[in-house]
Structure 1
Amino acid sequence: MSRTTPQESASDGVAAVERALAIVAAIAQRAEPISLADLSRATGFYKSTLLRLIASLERAALVVRRADGRYALGPYAHTLGRAFEATYGISETILPLLQGLVDKGTESASFHVYHDAHYRVCLLRVDSHHSTLDRIRPGDLLPLDKGAAGRLLTAYLVQGLPPSQAGLVLTSMGERDPNCAAVASPVFGPDGGMCGAISLSGPKERFTPAAIKKMSKLVQESAAAATQGLGGRWPAAR
């Protein structure tokens, strides 16, 4: 008779948690509730696996099954989001800064935070006054390894680089979307670690050298102000 070792049980438990979080991430990425079939395609999990894990997520109120059979985020997901914002005062501090950037004629302003090993999430967004925009909405998951904000998050939070190596402003041209560009700057929290990145993004043709220079200065000033507002310390110039 075979027995499961403690190590095997722990490994199975970790795998189950990772799969459950992948389900939550797939649901969060959709603007509308998602069917079981679409959820299976998005995660690569069998429907039987999904149903077993979703049952636990429903009990935790992280996922709810609607009357039409589709799935959406549950009330506890909203509670977590409110708790995150309350802990760091992110919306109160950063949203006015994003609006201030847009009012100065910049491209659309966003605040991105680390989501997992593959994605970042757009937490806050203010669209620019231009007629054409890059279509990003709060809650969207974007690649962690592409785009100015993503590369900053990777440098600080994945690679663990200091500001002198990671930089305080980055530019990307057509990395995430071949038609879009961005400039971004890191925001630091009270513990001294990076807590997110402010980015200015839009159609690539508007990112002329003069525009990049102007927006790089503005986004870095706003990131420094956000850092101060969150109780962090902006790195000294080197």
Structure 2
Amino acid sequence: MPKKSSRPSVADEQAAPGGAAAVDRAISLLTAFQPGESALTVTELAERTRLYNSTVLRLLASLAHGRLLRRTADGRWALGPEVARLGALYTASFSLEDVVLPEMRELVARTQESVAFHVRQGEQRLVLLRVDSPQLLRDHVRAGDVLPLDRGAGGRVLMACSGAPGRLYDQVRQDGYVMVTGDRIPGLVGISAPVWRTGTELAGALTLTAPEIRVQPSFVDELRASAARLTQALGGRAPG
């Protein structure tokens, strides 16, 4: 019997409370695949999950039976057709609003400032979702409004993530967010960060706006943390 490794497996580290260890291990195999990889060897899967090869082989047999993984002609392992079927079902039932709006409400509750979610619409940007600040002094933008793409924090992020050239957009891509003052309305500060979905597909820009006199240094971290949580919830990752 092989000696148990002193280093816990990925499944052990990320075990579901009250869950089944075998299922946790199988999930760790599925999540071992990274964007751009078509197939992995048993050794690669074992290394990434920190499971014994013998354990990996047993799990692969069950996952192949369920068509979640398949063996390729060269003996490696790739995602199976059942993953595609489940992905299609998820996409068909998915509502961006159901995921994004609760996080926006929590961000407004923490900062007491207005939050919007912008998406690109040609050469403009659409306010897809909006949660207003409870304070009377705020910008009066509504969901459904169309705003300039080349002014305002949300527009700057959408342009940067679409590859727009220029020092400002280079900085946005490097920092992963932008903070601008008076870019669209004098005295209004906008802080925005991209939200990614399904790998590196841009879902939109999460944007907090506030009068300059009320802006707190913590707003940047709060906004970026919300954008990161949404990216994770949508199955995305920042490119690069």
Q: Normalising to structure 1: TM-score of the pair?
A: 0.56
- The 1:88–1:158 alpha-carbon spacing in structure 2 relative to 1, beyond 3 Å, is farther
Can you give the 5+ residue segments of structure 1 that lack an aligned partner in the other structure? Answer: 1-84
Q: Match for 1:152 among 150, 157, 165?
A: 157
Give runs of aligned pairs for residues 10-21 of structure 1, distance below 5 A. none
Runs of 4+ in structure 1 deviating by more than 6 angstroms, as ranges, are 160-164
Q: Which residue in the other structure is 2:80 paired with?
A: none
Higher helix share: 1
After TM superposition, the structure 1 = structure 2 runs for residues 185-204 of structure 1, keeping only pairs within 5 Å, are 185-204=193-212
Partner letter of residue 194 of structure 1? L
Partner residue of 1:180 out of 188, 191, 194? 188
**Distance in structure 2 (CA, Å) of the matches to 1:190 and 1:104:** 28
Look at both structures and tell me which one has the larger radius of gyration over its CA atoms: 2
Gaps (5+ residues) in structure 2?
A: 1-90
Counterparts of 1:204-215 in structure 2, within 5 Å, are: 204-207=212-215, 211=216, 213-215=217-219
**Percent identity over paired residues:** 35
Q: Is the 8 A contact 1:88 1:230 kept in 2?
A: no
CA–CA separation in structure 1 for the residues paired with 2:179 and 2:172: 16
Quote the residue 1:225 is aligned against: 229
- 1:94 corresponding residue in structure 2: 100
- Measured in 1, the distance between the counterparts of 2:179 and 2:195 equals 16
The code of the aligned residue for 2:106 comes to G
Q: 1:186 to 1:142 in 2, by over 3 A?
A: same
Q: Matches of 1:144 and 1:93 in 2, distance apart?
A: 24
Matches within 5 A, 1:49-198: 89-117=95-123, 119-159=124-164, 165-198=173-206
Q: Is the contact made by 1:152 and 1:166 (CA closer than 8 Å) also made in structure 2? A: no
Output the aligned Cα RMSD: 2.4
